[in-house]
Amino acid sequence: MQTSKDFNRKIILEDGSEYLGYAFGDLEDKVCEIVFNTSMVGYQEIISDPSYTYQAVVMTYPLIGNYGMTSDDYETVTPTIGGLIVREINDEPSNFRSERTVNEVLKSYRIPGIYGIDTRKLTRSIRDLGSRKVLITDISTSLNEGLEIIKNTDIPKDAVSKVSCREFISCPGSIVNQNTSGHILNVVAIDCGMKQNIVRSLTARGCNVIKVPWNTKAEEIIRLNPDGIFISNGPGDPTDVVETIETIRNLLGKYPIFGICLGHQIISLAYGAKTYKLKFGHRGGNHPVRNLETGKIEITSQNHSYAVDSDSIKGTGLEITHMNILDNTIEGVSNKSDNVFSVQYHPESAPGPQDSSYLFDKFINMIHNRGC
């Protein structure tokens, strides 16, 4: 049993607070933005979600690693999460599917981790003071040294370009699970850090998915002769990806378009709306969202720091379709005449919930109704 004398790792926040713990994963010092996730399961999907690039994630569920890691459940081939902060890490998982431990995976991708701290206190701090910079470092780093490192380290603005694909990638649709039209649809997916389960959700519905880099121009996409356009999730500030916003602006009204998370924000910006940064964001698998078209409540998976400004929607041609019940932020918009819609949350969420998976069917039906 370790005691306080055994502490070998700590985090320092830019407000001067410190939390002592123990090392796992990589031992390199790293400055990230600190955020928290309230999911009880799905830590592998969180670790491998490209939207967490440059972010250190605090898991509010106290035990992480108990069912291990398996190659089938990654959301990206190369995880880019900034760091992982947990109460307790299990390095001896019990699961017949497990292939590696969380510790082994973090070490292989040079991702630092720290365990043994009071994650409840830390999460309350993030809720009260907001997301901010944090340094994951050795126990020997003094507070003054740590604060100086934080002060002199900026969180990079190139997150989307870091995680997007570099070339066109074709992902064939499933013939067995063809959509109701009886033929395969071609969907161009603009990859801003796309989760793999989005690709699975589209190919399982009989769509050929052509992933293209985040900065692909509208003319190049038009040459691919798509039936529909998809814009993925991704990390960072949506206003940083001006190339993607311009591409979508030039495609509006030409094809059915569906956006998720960052894709939702990009669509809103392309129509002239504005976005703003939330105090501590939405991250977890239990966020209630009201569908304003049906009146139903959907329990959703979310992971975002930014939201669309509701006042800025006026005069854009967009209609608000979904609202977050907890804080009344916008969770979905649409422009029916342009065949465009988007949601802020994740209908493809793995391991769940699955309340919103119908949105992929809505996208496919929209393509059919347009005559494809």
Domains annotated on the chain, with CATH: 6-155 (3.50.30.20), 160-369 (3.40.50.880)
Percent of the chain with pLDDT over 70: 96
Instruction: Indicate if 171 belongs to the active site.
Output: no
Q: What is the pLDDT of residues 283-334, one digit of tens each?
A: 999 999 999 999 999 999 999 999 999 999 999 999 999 999 999 999 999 9
Tens of pLDDT along 228-263? 999 999 999 999 999 999 999 999 999 999 999 999
Using the Cα atoms of residue 164, residue 168, residue 174 and residue 179 in order, give the sign of their dihedral.
positive
Model confidence at 182, pLDDT cuts 50, 70, 90, reads low
CA-to-CA distance for 348 and 148, rounded, in angstroms? 41
Helices and strands (H and E) in the chain: how many: 10, 19
The pLDDT value given to residue 174: 78
Catalytic residue among 261, 264, 298, 304: 261
pTM of the model: 0.95
Residue 20 pLDDT > 80 = yes
Which residue has tokens 């830390």?
122
8 Å CB contact between 287 and 324: yes
Beta strands in the chain (DSSP E): 9-13, 18-25, 30-37, 55-59, 63-64, 83-86, 88-89, 112-115, 132-138, 169-171, 185-191, 207-213, 228-231, 257-260, 275-291, 297-308, 319-324, 330-335, 340-343
C-alpha pair distances (Å), 324 with each of 46, 250, 321, 330: 21, 30, 11, 6
Give 176: exposed, middle or buried? Use CB within 10 Å, 0-12, 13-18, 19+.
Answer: exposed
SS3 231: strand
Q: Hey, how many other C-beta atoms are within 10 angstroms of the C-beta on 239?
A: 15
Q: Which of 220, 222, 228, 181 minimizes the C-alpha distance to 202?
A: 228
Q: What is the pLDDT of residue 370?
A: 81
Question: What residues are paired with 171 via a beta bridge?
Answer: 209
Nearest to 263 by CA among 328, 180, 191, 330: 191
Residue with tokens 């990806």: 241
pLDDT tens per residue across span 33-70: 999 999 999 999 999 999 999 999 999 999 999 999 99
Contacts within 8 Å (CB) and 24+ apart, 299-302: 299/353, 299/355, 300/331, 300/345, 300/346, 300/347, 300/349, 300/353, 300/355, 300/356, 301/39, 301/345, 301/346, 301/349, 301/352, 301/353, 302/344, 302/345, 302/346
Mean pLDDT of 100-121: 98
Tell me if 218 sits within 8 A of 257, measured CB to CB: no
Cβ atoms within 10 Å of 172's Cβ, excluding its own? 10
- The string of DSSP letters for 275-324 reads EEEEEEEEEEEEEEEEETTT--EEEEEEEEEEEE-GGGGTTTT-EEEEEE
Residue 183 has pLDDT above 80, yes or no: no
Residue 245 CA from chain centroid, whole number: 18
Tokens representing 246 are 């311009």
Q: Which of 282, 304, 322, 346 is catalytic?
A: 346
| DSSP, res 155 | P
pLDDT at 1: 36
Helix 262-270 vs helix 242-251: angle between axes, to the nearest 10 degrees?
60
Could you say which of 75, 298, 331, 348 is catalytic? Answer: 348
Contacts of 224 (CB under 8 A, 6+ apart): 186, 188, 210, 212
Please name the residue that has the structure tokens 């119908």. Answer: 358
To the query of whether residue 348 is one of the catalytic residues in this protein, the response is: yes
Q: Which of 316, 298, 312, 368 is nearest to 339 (CA)?
A: 368
**Among candidate residues 81, 87, 92, the one with its CA nearest the CA of residue 44:** 81
Residue with tokens 């010092």, as numbered in its chain: 29
Q: Is the model's pLDDT at 176 over the cut of 90? A: no
| pLDDT (mean) for 205-220 | 97
